[in-house]
Amino acid sequence: KGRPAYYTHSGSAGVTHRIGRVAVTATGTVDRTTYENGVTTTGAVYDLQDRNVTTYGGKLRGAYEVTPGLTPFVEVAADTRRYDDEIDNAGYRRSSLGASVKAGSTFEITRTLTGEASLGYGGRNYEDGRLANLTGALVDASLVWQASPLTKVTMKAASEFLETTTMGSSGAVSRRLTLDVAHDLLRNLTVTGSLGYSAAAYQGTGNVEQTASAGVKVDYKIDRNFLIRGSYNYERALSE
């Protein structure tokens, strides 16, 4: 009966070291996702605690500045996803190890039009031998247009591997497109509107889930180091 709520809490830390035109960046991340139980149309509670998962990851990027507007890079990443329940409700061990490699570049078309694009490949290996490895191409890109001193338009394309508890499926390869328009109403007040579309193809089932979203975000800058953010996002499944 409707989609149960879920919560994601994330943290990251990184450091960049520069030697001339070469820059090396190391980043560590932790993501925690928890689910509320579902309720069936008959009012029964459906246990979703087997979906609670924590992800620990790290990535290393090496970049070389060819010109001030062109910086090619290579990035490698690895992570481990550990479920609270070793075995889920369907009897699968879904904890996994993942790795990916990407190559791309940041670029500057004009002083007001910049971006980044990369192409790579990644995969996940699951503890349960009945779950096939999840692999796929990773295409990521962003284009930022500074339309005016007060308005910025950002378009992004992103790829990621999604988790699932669907019996017989390892997970999904998701592709997402987003458009953000940010406008400074005041020196310390910015409003951002966003639109998004994603399609996730679930391995082993043939199912493709399409989702559309819209949102608004308000940032109030207290000073140069701190800001307060409020946001609202609406998401709707187009197909399952």
What is the tally of helices (H) and strands (E) in the chain? 0, 14
How far apart CA 172 and CA 164 sit, in angstroms, is: 7
Instruction: Tell me the mean pLDDT in the region 4-30.
Output: 95
Over residues 118-168, the pLDDT tens digits come to 999 999 999 999 999 999 999 999 999 999 999 999 999 999 999 888 888
133 Cα distance to chain centroid: 20
Q: Give the tokens for residue 119.
A: 């192409």
Query: What does the alpha-carbon distance between residue 148 and residue 136 come to, in Å, rounded to a whole number?
Result: 38
How high is the pLDDT of residue 240?
57
Residue 134: CB partners within 8 Å, gap ≥ 6? 123, 124, 126, 161, 170, 171, 172, 173, 203
Written as six digits, the tokens of 11 are 């943290």
* Res 125: pLDDT: 95
pLDDT surpassing 80 at residue 2: no
pTM for this predicted structure? 0.80
Quick one: what percent of the chain has pLDDT higher than 90?
A: 79
* CB-based contact 191:218 (threshold 8 Å): yes
What is the average pLDDT score of the chain? Answer: 93
Residue 39 CA to residue 212 CA, distance in Å, equals 24
CB 171 within 8 A of CB 134: yes
